[in-house]
Copies of this chain bind each other. A is one copy, B any other.
């Protein structure tokens, strides 16, 4: 399959140039930044008439060959109903980009567009990996912490989860952390409202025996406080709780930043000192911002697919492209396929329920 590229060849990215609140400007900027920084090929997929003028605004001397425009006539809007948009717009930038990955013309798909449409297009185009039964692929979001990041999945794709889906997320999350950080036996936890076994809602309580039976380093429940405390490597949640955590965290960072700005501009002396400390605040923002992390891989389908934040800037999209390249280089999809195949063959018995 197309997604398992050699580690030496330059990665080719199919970028949805029409997705995101600031499309196509941010997408084009992200592509230029990524081509320059990483030497990767970024195929700008979308309406050629919209992309061309944006590309002309950048100085891309020496990079032209890395930035081909691939025309796709249809655009899926940010607030469109995902299922019907995907059904009716067969020539959307998303569908064409996924088609290129399937055809081996690109190694990964990156989009800052309509989340539901990204999930549906990836599922329709790439299909589930054998053994994965969740309604949609899982969003594996990085959560920054003071010492290390933690991967949270599912961060919002699957709302009501069957217990075996949560076990599948645990298996995929563990493998992703292992490959991403070259860390054997990453610590995997489930997100709950107390650490004691038995704490949690019905779907979680039913999932825990399945997760315990997996060949991973499952350490039990953690609470919301622990996700950003760098105490485990992977946190498994259903997409409802995971999304509320993730969006909640984003909101708290925004509130904290606003309150900090408010306090630091209360008087002229404070303003002057705060101005001198600007590099510290900028570094802090970098360490807490989704822009730095850029994108969230979708795990569980036969193709590398990275979802960037709808509000992504060019810089955020550069980082989303970096995440896609990483997944390609790690051969993540083929490794998940292997691991799922092993899991379905091997004891213990509970594994077969996956």
A interface with B by C-beta (< 8 Å): 144-146, 156, 159-160, 191-193, 200-202, 223-229, 237-241, 243-256, 258-260, 262-264, 266, 269-270, 273-274, 276-277, 280-281, 283-284, 287-288
Nearest B residue (CB) for A261: B146
Number of copies: 2
Q: Are A243 and B224 in contact (CB under 8 A)?
A: yes
Q: Are B270 and A280 in contact (CB under 8 A)?
A: yes
Please classify the interface of chain A as helix (H, G, I), strand (E, B), loop, or mixed, using the class held by over half of its residues: helix
Nearest B residue (CB) for A225: B251
Pairs A-B, 10 closest by C-beta atoms: A224-B247, A224-B248, A225-B251, A228-B255, A263-B280, A193-B243, A146-B258, A252-B252, A201-B240, A228-B251
Q: How far is the CA of A202 from the CA of B238 in the complex (A)?
A: 13
Known: A225-B247, A248-B248, A251-B226. A201 touches B273 (CB 8 A): no
Q: How far is the CA of A240 from the CA of B223 in the complex (A)?
A: 11
Q: How far is the CA of A160 from the CA of B203 in the complex (A)?
A: 9
Q: Are B224 and A249 in contact (CB under 8 A)?
A: yes
Q: How far is the CA of A100 from the CA of B277 in the complex (A)?
A: 54
- Which residues from B are CB-within-8-Å of A283? 263
Known: A224-B251, A228-B252, A228-B254. A259 touches B240 (CB 8 A): no
- Which residues from B are CB-within-8-Å of A263? 280-281, 283-284
Known: A193-B156, A240-B193, A243-B193. A248 touches B225 (CB 8 A): yes
